[in-house]
Structure 1
Amino acid sequence: MAAGASDLTVHALRLGPGQELLSSLVAFTEERKLRAPFIMTCVGSVTEAKLRLADATAENSRLVHLQGKFEIVSLVGTLNREAHLHICLADKEGRTFGGHVMGDLKVFTTAEVVVGEASDLKFAREMDDRTGFPELVINSRSEHA
């Protein structure tokens, strides 16, 4: 389901060593009452990550917990209360690991994040019986003011 075009507002934040990236982003969007936020870009590093791998189903969520020093080479997704983020991390050898962010993204040196908000839209999540997961629902703000 698609929604119409929207104006864009841009926000930026920088997280420091030891902060947890996912919970910090959710808190940031809630404090600012953002209704259709998404990640535009992120540069930084982490020492931990808990990821759900691609073969997961609602009945079988295979998780991996990474520990070490990793560069964030990509972070994408939507940031409503039930954030849906995917990340790609590179280790000291340049090997990459990626998946659905479950948490435990502990910042190593920094995480510089630019968050966009579709000013005319509202994101929500509803359970989708076909996938077994809460999936994105896009509404115009005028429909759900």
Structure 2
Amino acid sequence: MTGDRELNEAGYRASEARFVCVRLLPGQELVRALRRVAAETGLRAGYVAGAVGSLSQANLRFAGRPEGCVLTGCFEVVSLIGTLDAEGEHLHMAVSDPEGRMTGGHVLEGCIVRTTMELVIGHLTGVRFSRSPCPLSGYEELRVDGIE
């Protein structure tokens, strides 16, 4: 169980949000496009508020696996969630194939838009996201800092 000390070290802050809406076109790569949107809009702390679209290729890393699995075909994006910041992102996605079978995992570069990808990105004000090593998980994990 996580104690108050660990929770406070991870950081939490209340914030307001503004939103950016974008449509990605066929052939665009999802992660690179999100990074470009983050850079062009000055995003410091953000999240995927909504996403709908399709992919011709998905690159997902499944739980406990060291590398991604590239899937090719026709996929509907059923869910895309995660956090974004100026330095990177932590995204999870679920996709369904033409038979309705779902696959999900951690999003890696190599997700190619098939017909469209409509995104609503929430920009949190007054906070900055970053990543730092977590001794509990062994990974670079979210850090939330206040900004003036």
TM-score after normalising by structure 2 = 0.89
Gap regions ≥5 residues in structure 2: 1-9
* Aligned equivalents of 1:11, 1:64: Cα separation in 2: 30
How far residue 115 of structure 1 moved from its aligned partner, in angstroms, is 0.1
Tell me what 1:68 maps to: 73
Say whether 1:116 aligns with 2:122: yes
State the SS of the aligned residue for 1:75: strand
* Aligned equivalents of 2:13, 2:142: Cα separation in 1: 15
State the SS of the aligned residue for 2:88: coil
Instruction: Determine what percentage of the aligned residue pairs are the same residue.
Output: 38
Gap regions ≥5 residues in structure 1: none
State the SS of the aligned residue for 1:108: strand
Q: Say if 1:3 and 1:140, in contact at 8 Å, map to a contact too.
A: no
* Aligned equivalents of 1:46, 1:52: Cα separation in 2: 16
How far residue 86 of structure 1 moved from its aligned partner, in angstroms, is 0.1
* Aligned equivalents of 1:76, 1:63: Cα separation in 2: 18
Root-mean-square deviation (CA, aligned residues, Å) is: 1.1
Alignment of 1:87-102 (within 5 A): 87-102=93-108
Tell me which amino acid in the other structure corresponds to 1:70: F
Tell me what 2:18 maps to: 9
* Aligned equivalents of 2:131, 2:23: Cα separation in 1: 27
Q: Say if 1:38 and 1:117, in contact at 8 Å, map to a contact too.
A: yes
Which protein is richer in helix relative to its size?
A: 2
Say whether 1:138 aligns with 2:144: yes
Say whether 1:34 aligns with 2:43: yes
State the SS of the aligned residue for 1:70: strand
